[in-house]
Chain A
Amino acid sequence: MKILVPVKRVLDYNVKPRVKSDGTGVDLANVKMSMNPFDEIGIEEAIRLKEKGVATEIIAVSVGPAKAAETLRTALAMGADRAILVQTDDDVEPLALAKIFKAIADAEQPGLVILGKQAIDGDNNQTGQMLAAMTGWAQGTFASAVNVDGDSVSVTREVDGGLETVKLKLPAIVTTDLRLNEPRYASLPNIMKAKSKPLDTKTPADYGVDTTPRVKTVKVSEPPVRSAGVKVADVDELVAKLKAIGVHS
């Protein structure tokens, strides 16, 4: 079966986001951008399923600017077989993203679509669930284990309070949580090989999707700053401070 893996180009997770002084957003000029970490886990999981003989082909797809091609090349270097760049300079919302992925799923007929549970920029945590609704497929979100067995997949999910396992009929949607796997680094030979792997470029219009935002960002501001309090000299002073605010056994 084919596996479709959407990937997003986002501000690198090690870079501290800075709010622009005009309050229109976060400054992305001249900062390091990388693949959304949850999507990297998605690519890795797809590769492992291919290595187990479950998957036959891995298609990475990204909706974003021309530079998102770099993110797709990273996916190809890790082990994806081909890539689709749906090029747009607009900030595409999860609802429209899901519509684009639905159109691609209709064309490619994957057995699984593996997405990151959220992108670390918008923190929406929506696209996978929305795609599941649009395709009418089952969803295994926040996955920490994925096991394909015949025409179904068992997904262990990280839920509040512990873990839960669901069995889903294929085709299905999986969204990744952090502990699903540890993504590999692309080797130099594979980075070279990735340059010649197929990468198609499309636009949202090719899939008939209108990406006009439904939600307007009125402004973006810094979160309230929490200031440092006092350093206490020893445990006795800490106990006294805590007792003063009513904390004691």
Chain B
Amino acid sequence: MKTLVWVEHDGTAVKDATLAAVTAASKLGEVHLLVAGAGVDGVAKAASEIAGVGKVHVADNAAFGHNLPENIAPLVADLMASHDAFVAPATTTGKNIAPRVAALLDVMQISEILSVEGPKTFTRPIYAGNAIATVESSDAKLVLTIRGTAFEKAATSGGSGVIEAVSAGGDAGISSFVGAEIAKQDRPELTSAKIIVSGGRALGSSEKYQEVIVPLADKLGAALGASRAAVDAGYVPNDYQVGQTGKIVAPQVYFAIGISGAIQHLAGMKDSKTIVAINKDEDAPIFQVADFGLVADLFIAVPELTGNI
């Protein structure tokens, strides 16, 4: 089987989510990559060095500069004439593009796979991860998105993919990119961080989040996260949100501070290797999944932890 993996990048570097998708694709067969964008020579070269990569299709065109699905999906659909599976990381970009590709191919997509069980059989979470479905496709071609935390990352070196320019495609003329507000921070990204410190509604304010959560994250070189309640209350921007409707994370250590542990939040972090919970309510559901639980007033315990660790 020949797979085509969507390379997620920021114009200069390949994003980590791609590497998990490469691992998933390698379980199906030959791995080809697609690098689309404007001025992506550097990305294409980096992509060709990913371990196990056969061919790197490079579509360098201003129309592909902002991942507009109206322009990208027809390009992918064209390339799928010579591939058997399209594999994209389940990022907001992958989720935006893959179903559009699937519909152009008249294929029923399988979303957020957790494992490859056979050539056309996969597991995936349903009901916010409260159930796991094993599903089998009967379509001639596959369109899959990959949950990044469920697969190891492929090595970024050791590969020697052959770079091949693709000239197909252009601007469909129905959509344009206006602008973006992407938070720039000197921290690891939430979805690839080894340690995450998350705060919940119990913090009570944006100031307290800054005062209590941020210093601990700084000390540990951790990414910052939050529960939906904290995001909705305006303590932090929405891209901090961990949970069913936010980001799915699985770091080595996850600190849940002042987070009660609603199902929606647990769905986003329960695959973390070690979970640390600090909450003054000893009956909070978060303690049912925490490896280390501390029943304490977070405003006292967290600064003390930051000081002592």
Contact = CB atoms under 8 A, between A and B. Distances in A.
Looking at chain B, what size class is its interface with the partner chain? 35 or more
A229 interface: yes
B239 A215 contact: no
Given A123-B112, A160-B93, A226-B289, A19 B245 contact: no
Interface string A226-249: 101111101110110111010111
B195 interface: yes
Contacts of A232: 292-294
Given A16-B263, A232-B293, A239-B309, A120 B127 contact: yes
Given A126-B102, A139-B70, A215 B136 contact: yes
B291 A230 contact: yes
A169 B173 CA distance: 8
A168 B138 CA distance: 34
B183 A142 contact: no
Given A123-B112, A167-B175, A229-B293, A141 B95 contact: yes
A148 B129 CA distance: 36
B138 A217 contact: no
Grouping DSSP codes into helix (H, G, I), strand (E, B) and loop, the A interface class, with mixed when no group exceeds half, is mixed
A66 interface: no
Given A120-B128, A242-B276, A160 B134 contact: no
A234 B207 CA distance: 25
B107 interface: yes
B186 interface: no
B108 A94 contact: yes
Interface of B: 66, 68-70, 73, 91-93, 95-104, 106-112, 121, 125-139, 172-183, 189, 191, 195, 219-220, 228, 232, 237-239, 244-245, 247, 252-253, 263, 270, 274-276, 287-296, 301, 304-305, 308-309
14 contacts: A26-B131, A120-B244, A129-B103, A133-B99, A136-B174, A139-B96, A159-B180, A162-B183, A167-B175, A179-B232, A223-B131, A235-B304, A242-B292, A245-B274
